[in-house]
Amino acid sequence: MKIGLFIPCYVNAIFPQVGVASYQLLKKLGLDVDYPIDQTCCGQPMANAGFEDEAKKLAMRFESQFEKYDYIVGPSASCVSFVKENYPRVLKKEKHLCESIGKIYDICEFIHDVVKPNSLNASFPHKVSIHNSCHGVRELFLSTPSEMNIPYNNKLRNLLNLVNDIEIFEPKHIDECCGFGGMFAVEEQAVSTAMGRDKVKDHMSTGAEYITGADGSCMMHMKGVIDREKWPIQTIHVVEILNSEG
């Protein structure tokens, strides 16, 4: 299978090490990975701000960039979710049938559900608390939404269990929002910040050294809170842990 690696614009600009770790991890798993060099933003910021028509050109470009691949894999649950949940409607206005939705995956979802490794040559001798992002939980089902009242499963935890020397925790409010929410963080800054503080405190209550998750945007928001408050905890994308040296 041929995989097109989708690196969202904010990952490319702010967390390039996550993009590098994603590529390295997929190669370590023996997969045929390509990075379309001319890829751009998927259009989520424009659409979230109410300018969905501005996202149409980017959606069409995305379709063209990734049409030759069997799978599209990216390290951002929110961006992957935007493509999967919104492209069909956005592209319908262009009388274009979206081909990406049936083959795009968050990288953790892809490794867990498609690759299904039995082991990883990785080691991370630290205590980590898993952050379940809203898009990851309720649109990609990386973990079980608490309101469903069914047995709990967490794909991030399942993958992290393959990492040597790690201690894994989850906060009391396992799928409560961190307060980022894209434009929400701009339009409702005070509420967003208060939610971020509450979420970081919840993670800190586990005794973890790191907060980890599949959405770098959530990590970025909580890191801002941590840096401002000078709290003794760090953030790290889950892919960086899965790619750590064994």
Q: Which of 38, 7, 4 is nearest to 216 (CA)?
A: 7
User: How far is 92 from 178, CA to CA, in rounded Å?
Assistant: 32
User: How far is 122 from 98, CA to CA, in rounded Å?
Assistant: 37
Mean pLDDT confidence for 204-212: 98
The DSSP bridge partners found for residue 32 are 2
Least confident of 118-122, 182-186, 188-192: 182-186
Joined together, the tokens standing for residue 51 give 């300018």
Q: Which of 222, 217, 221 is nearest to 203 (CA)?
A: 222
Predicted confidence band of residue 94 (pLDDT cuts 50, 70, 90):
confident
User: How far is 34 from 4, CA to CA, in rounded Å?
Assistant: 5
Torsion angle in degrees (nearest 10) through CA of 98, 102, 103, 108: 120
**Residue pair 100/62 in contact by the 8 Å Cβ criterion:** yes
- Higher-scoring residue by pLDDT: 176, 51: 176
pLDDT tens for each residue of 27-72:
999 999 999 999 989 988 888 888 888 889 999 999 999 999 999 9
Residues of the chain with pLDDT > 70, as a percent, come to 100
User: How far is 97 from 181, CA to CA, in rounded Å?
Assistant: 28
Predicted confidence band of residue 227 (pLDDT cuts 50, 70, 90):
very high
pLDDT at res. 184: 84
Q: Is the pLDDT of residue 246 over 80?
A: no
**Residue pair 105/35 in contact by the 8 Å Cβ criterion:** no
The sign of the torsion formed by the CA atoms of 190, 192, 193, 197 equals positive
Q: Which residue has the tokens 């993670």?
A: 203
Q: Is the pLDDT of residue 123 over 90?
A: yes
pLDDT tens for each residue of 125-141:
999 999 999 999 999 99
Q: At what angle do helices 77-92 and 52-66 cross, to 10 degrees?
A: 100
- Higher-scoring residue by pLDDT: 238, 51: 238
Q: Is the pLDDT of residue 95 over 90?
A: no
The DSSP bridge partners found for residue 232 are none
For the entire predicted model, the pTM comes to: 0.94
What are the residue ranges of helices labelled H in 29-154?
A: 44-48, 52-66, 77-92, 107-110, 134-138
- Residue 5's H or E segment, with its range, is strand 2-5
Full set of structural domains in the chain with CATH: 2-115 (3.40.50), 127-242 (3.40.50)
Residues of the chain with pLDDT > 90, as a percent, come to 83
Strand runs labelled E in 107-244: 127-131, 167-169, 210-213, 234-237
